[in-house]
A = this chain, B = another copy of it.
């Protein structure tokens, strides 16, 4: 074994981060242990703080440090529209545009059976329950047009087939789920005005 047991464990733990292979993990671990213990200490506390303090809003699954997220806790927000986004980053982007007054629901992913991400992981049961609360009249899907996102749109739409709710979709032109915080606010505002109602095929 090239490294000490605790170093090997650290290398393995770092490899679990997205986009980090074995060589980068080695480089990170050695840099922290050889030259930057304070950086490592800071990361260790930041991780344990964030994991303790940050949780999903029980209503909309936005990451928050409060009981309810700021949007859900705000009585001035329009409770009749729920904007469904793939990620907290997308919610942040739409919030920054200030062009949406309703509430959110954050999936934290899209359907991807190969990665073990099914409807439960995305909180779709909670979404259907939330929509049944009575105040909600529209589910607005703000997902891009990649294959898995399309499958997710289709799946969610089917959940509301008999519900009497309107299901709409915001057109994503040159925008990607998970990157809406980088989109121009005017582009987001424009997309929101162009939402389309999704029809149900009745059998």
Contacts and interface: CB of A to CB of B under 8 A. Distances in A.
Given A12-B46, A64-B4, A40 B30 contact: no
Contact of A54 (B33, B49, B50, B96): B33
A6 B92 contact: no
A44 B36 contact: no
B12 A65 contact: no
| Contact-residue bracket for chain A | 35 or more
B65 A4 contact: yes
A17 to B, nearest CB: 5
A2 interface: yes
Contacts of A199: none
A26 interface: yes
Nearest to A34: B108
A121 B34 CA distance: 10
Report copies per complex. Answer: 2
Interface in A28-71: 28-37, 39-44, 46-51, 53-54, 56, 63-65
Contact of A37 (B2, B17, B51, B95): B51
Given A4-B64, A63-B34, A13 B47 contact: yes
Contacts of A96: 2
Nearest to A5: B65
A14 B43 contact: yes
Interface of A: 2-7, 9-10, 12-14, 16-19, 24, 26-37, 39-44, 46-51, 53-54, 56, 63-65, 87-89, 92-93, 95-96, 108-109, 121, 178, 181
Q: Which 4 A-B pairs have CB atoms at the shortest separation, nearest pair first? A: A2-B92, A13-B46, A44-B47, A34-B108
Given A2-B89, A34-B108, A35-B108, 11 more contacts: A2-B96, A3-B92, A4-B65, A6-B50, A7-B54, A10-B47, A18-B27, A30-B88, A35-B121, A41-B51, A44-B44
